[in-house]
Structure 1
């Protein structure tokens, strides 16, 4: 473990109830609620991911090695009301430059969290546009605390924010949480008079009517809807409403939209869609819209990981076959409209190959591409 000078990141000052000493409680932090510290760290990582995406776009990710560059640990429990001192730990395998950048991002995440807690105290609600997953996790944080227990967040010896069951109730009071996010779907209808777009979200198989303010959004939406008689996949920046379970309930507003895939990919998808049954010497099925839609979503994920578009083919069964290379390995993904079939092999034959995988949804495909044996 490398020495980082034990720079204090934040002090979590717990008061009341089990945290008070001298009233039947021994000094220290109760182990039965240690999971609240884990949730605190999870919230900071979620906020860090949000800040990166705000600055670099919705497809941006945390810096490579972020999770390993800075680990939070509590290094001291002070007497009186329980004070847990949180200190970053520099991994011995990480360069100091990466540690510094990661630590700076964590500090900004902590400031974002403190700002939201202050809003709960003063305005009895979050600031506008907070991502839903962050709002939900803040609302779940502190579930083990009693009504008499409070948390104060201190930095540099100064109080910056507090959190307790009253503020937690404000975080959880809404049946629906409004947030800004990017959805991937298709424009299937547009009304200039009503200033609205009908958007189908592929992952959910549902459509939503959303309002827009400027005619540029209308132009882009109308163009996407009529793109070669088939609506292409688009990234739509929207305001959403989700329930407390995270389920999408409505899309009140569209801010902007853009094509999710390069023109070359959209052109190839269009070519395949125009292939009719019997194309292979009287045999060969036409591609279904379901298989093409799955392939488009898969290509988005492949572009995220490999930075280059795959080759796109139609199989005799009407499935879509994607092929691409990354480093020493070649990959093949079959999209049949119901599941993904992923296979890979080493071009040199010197590395053990993983078994083929059957993936039932896009989330499992993301996991396979990001954490598979041959993906960094």
Structure 2
């Protein structure tokens, strides 16, 4: 079943046969999550926000053209909405169409303003991506709408718009562009994130909490009544286990976290949670081991954390994670029968894997895995499961 975005941010069934659709926009979503030519449901929220942006820009353009008017005519937005009718291949290409009510004179009178609004929005994104001024393109209050559009994009993802002027005229929208536009009109911007730390304080009356991050920094968050029990349980686990909080993280111009809003999830973490351990390794400095030992690359650790989250199966055992003196990371799994280690070079993304018998240290298996490839992660997980499941008697 196809869903459509309404100007109220809802998703519903496509229009009836009494409406004829016309293509409004066909962006291309680029990133690993879109490789299967599908779009995660959370990303659809971005396009509801995009529709709201188009509506507000259309209103502004109309009033700029007719400055004596205080508001747009009645029915100006009544027949405008964007419908997601299909997803084409080529990464993921959502086809966004406008329904055209048959015989609607109001729609014909105002439709050009929404086309102009779309073009102005793309001009603004293009200017920001090229480091050019956007001051003459949109007023600052409208730039604030970009805080909602693209919030669910990850660091390795982007939207590519092709303008009607030329097939190779591609406008790129990503987190960097979004941040640039939002900070033109505000001192903070928001990103959807998963944050790890310890719940150190809880105010049940105000529904606020204080999360002590792995770095030692403290950040305030707000939780809903539905997450009351989860927040209380997290406070009770303070000092024993970490939690993961998902929500809209408010960051300032220097990217410092200010607070967490619209929290959707509070979940306890396993003591061996790998992303949490890698975040703690990022705090190391050169000389961390008796004056020796290189600091692991922050960008390498960020890559490893994301790769682990994307690739490691829930049913596979978690390792202990240690820094290596050479600036890498070593994963270790141990059972009564065997020990398995994977020493990872963060620069080459190659892991040297060694399996040895616990009793006498005899080498049972060796492997060299290139962990920038999904199938190599599958090989590592398969190796770990084979030995750990054998220990548990499930092989």
Q: Do they fold alike, i.e. is TM over 0.5?
A: no
Length-normalised TM-score, structure 1: 0.41
